[in-house]
């Protein structure tokens, strides 16, 4: 059979391959490059957590679990959310265990968006939001965040985007790729605007544990907001568990029920071994999280200082593990900048426009790599910009 075009759905065909992918193809060929590209912790999963996964296998826990996840894990999720963020959710009905935060995002969109509905997506942000919305037949509406506002969603921008077709707002904080966060006192004004609409908030809080200098505050903690917010959490970033695929959705009972229905047909249940490991992670993991956060924070300061010393204008991020320096001063686009940097100095960073058009003029640097590599990459980046 030649030419599968007729067999490929229009929606699938319309998705553009991730902008980051091209760089990884280039990077593949350059084994000795330093990669500041992948958005992934550099720590292995703490041994206690891995050990719990292994123990569950030894005990023979190899079957499907309840669709929503094992009840002990949901109960632990509830305790964790209460302890860490002061949010209370009922383990029976308001919590769903998913295959990474990724699945939780997808489920929430699929459960709430009708064809033609608009989903507001502040950008630059995670690459998956737009495609997930498009696959559900929704219309992604990018909202351009600016460095001048600390890459925060402002109440006025939100208000101006609230059309009658707008059904969901994605709230991507702490933000990949900018590292921006929303502080507790940023939230009431946003909640005020949202209260005047019928919009649902999909709050992607996968980086909630990685904030520096203040605790993460969830929009769901604002008066009246819990009823219209689905919080997405997960262990990938906070507990260095990307490969385990453990995510969680927290929200109103009716919405979680719809999401669970889709999950039940598409996935059945999240990986069993991972759920038992997750139980230990949430119950006993706070000190690991604390020490990893401290370590990221040190590298954040180190890299920010190094980039500024090399002449970059760079916003100080308070969350996640990314820096998002401007490269406008060098007179070339972000893609060209990244490609040349990789080819000439063997350092991989991601062009900002991979995260939305408003990311043009910036690059994303992931500092979740060893200090030794950060040190060397700073030398190379400085050498590169000097000859631009």
Partner 1 sequence: MKRVLKLLENDASLGAGQIALLLGVGEADVERDIAAARREGILLGSRSVINWEKAGGDYVTAMIEVRVTPQRGEGFDRVAERIYQFDEVESLYLMSGGYDLQAVVIGKSLKDVARFVAEKLSTLEQVTGTCTHFLLKKYKEGGVVYARPDDAQERVAYL
Ligand X SMILES: Cc1ncc(COP(=O)(O)O)c(C=O)c1O
The residue ranges that bind ligand X (CB under 6 A) are 39, 100-102, 126, 172, 176, 204, 206, 234, 236, 242, 247
Residue placing its CB nearer to partner 1 in the complex, 145 or 303:
303
- Residue at token pair 């059309």: 163
Using DSSP's 3-state secondary structure scheme, residue 145 falls into: coil
Cis peptide leading into residue 217 (ω within 30°): no
Task: Determine which helix (DSSP H) or strand (DSSP E) holds 230, and give its type and residue range.
Answer: strand 229-234
The candidate with the shortest Cα–Cα distance to 125, out of 364, 368, 369, 366, is 364
Residue placing its CB nearer to ligand X in the complex, 174 or 325:
174
- Residue at token pair 């008066």: 223
65 binds, among ligand X, partner 1, none (CB under 5 to 8 A by kind): none
297 binds, among partner 1, ligand X, none (CB under 5 to 8 A by kind): partner 1
Angle between the N-to-C axes of helices 286-309 and 371-386, in degrees from 0 to 180, rounded to the nearest 10: 20
Q: What is the DSSP letter of 113?
A: P
Residue placing its CB nearer to ligand X in the complex, 98 or 345:
98
236 binds, among partner 1, ligand X, none (CB under 5 to 8 A by kind): ligand X
**At closest approach, how far in Å is the CB of 143 from partner 1?**
22
Task: Determine which helix (DSSP H) or strand (DSSP E) holds 284, and give its type and residue range.
Answer: helix 272-284
State how far the alpha carbon of 172 is from the alpha carbons of 65, 96, 125, 369, 382, in Å: 30, 20, 7, 23, 31
Residue placing its CB nearer to partner 1 in the complex, 21 or 261:
21
The CA distance from 248 to 318, in Å, is 23
**At closest approach, how far in Å is the CB of 236 from ligand X?**
3
Q: What angle do CA 253, 259, 260 make, to 5 degrees?
A: 85
**At closest approach, how far in Å is the CB of 221 from ligand X?**
19
Residue placing its CB nearer to ligand X in the complex, 131 or 234:
234
The residues binding partner 1 (CB under 8 A) are 17-18, 20-21, 24, 38-40, 127, 242, 297-299, 301-302, 305, 371-372, 375
Residue placing its CB nearer to partner 1 in the complex, 51 or 227:
51
The candidate with the shortest Cα–Cα distance to 324, out of 356, 293, 298, is 356
**At closest approach, how far in Å is the CB of 243 from partner 1?**
8
Task: Determine which helix (DSSP H) or strand (DSSP E) holds 272, and give its type and residue range.
Answer: helix 272-284
The CA distance from 276 to 262, in Å, is 23
Residue placing its CB nearer to ligand X in the complex, 105 or 378:
105
**At closest approach, how far in Å is the CB of 328 from partner 1?**
25
**At closest approach, how far in Å is the CB of 307 from partner 1?**
12
322 binds, among ligand X, partner 1, none (CB under 5 to 8 A by kind): none
- Give the CB-nearest residue to ligand X: 100
**At closest approach, how far in Å is the CB of 382 from ligand X?**
28
204 binds, among partner 1, ligand X, none (CB under 5 to 8 A by kind): ligand X
């Amino acid at each position: 059979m030649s030419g599968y075009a007729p067999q490929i759905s229009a929606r699938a065909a319309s998705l553009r391959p991730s902008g980051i992918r091209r760089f990884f193809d280039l990077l593949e060929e350059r084994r000795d490059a330093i990669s500041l590209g992948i958005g992934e912790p550099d720590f292995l999963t703490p041994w206690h957590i891995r050990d719990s996964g292994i123990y569950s296998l030894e005990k023979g826990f190899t079957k499907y679990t309840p669709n929503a996840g094992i009840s002990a894990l949901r109960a632990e999720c509830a305790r964790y959310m209460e302890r860490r963020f002061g949010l209370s959710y009922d383990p029976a009905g308001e919590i769903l265990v998913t295959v990474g935060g990724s699945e939780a995002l997808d489920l929430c969109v699929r459960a709430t968006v009708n064809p033609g509905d608009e989903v507001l997506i502040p950008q630059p942000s995670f690459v998956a939001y737009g495609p997930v919305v498009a696959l559900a037949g929704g219309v992604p509406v990018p909202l351009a965040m600016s460095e001048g506002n600390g890459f925060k969603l402002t109440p006025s921008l939100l208000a101006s985007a609230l059309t009658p077709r707008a059904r969901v707002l994605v709230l991507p904080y702490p933000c990949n790729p900018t590292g921006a966060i929303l502080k507790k006192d940023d939230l009431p004004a946003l909640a005020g605007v949202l209260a005047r609409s019928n919009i649902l908030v999909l709050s992607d809080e996968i980086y909630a544990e990685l904030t520096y200098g203040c605790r993460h505050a969830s929009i769901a903690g604002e008066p009246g907001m819990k009823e219209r917010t689905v919080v997405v959490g997960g262990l990938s970033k906070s507990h260095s568990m990307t490969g385990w695929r453990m995510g969680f959705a927290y929200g109103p009972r009716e919405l979680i029920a719809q999401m669970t229905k889709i999950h039940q047909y598409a996935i059945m249940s999240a990986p069993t071994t991972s759920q038992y490991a997750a139980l230990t992670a949430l119950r006993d993991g706070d000190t690991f999280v604390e020490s990893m956060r401290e370590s990221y924070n040190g590298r954040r300061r180190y890299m920010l200082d190094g980039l500024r010393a090399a002449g970059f204008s760079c916003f100080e991020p308070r969350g996640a593990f990314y820096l998002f320096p401007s490269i406008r001063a060098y007179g070339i686009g972000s893609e060209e900048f990244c490609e040349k940097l990789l080819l000439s100095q063997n350092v991989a960073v991601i062009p900002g426009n991979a995260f939305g058009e408003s990311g043009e003029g910036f690059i994303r640097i992931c500092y979740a790599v060893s200090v030794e590599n950060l040190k060397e990459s700073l030398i190379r980046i400085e050498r590169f910009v000097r000859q631009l």
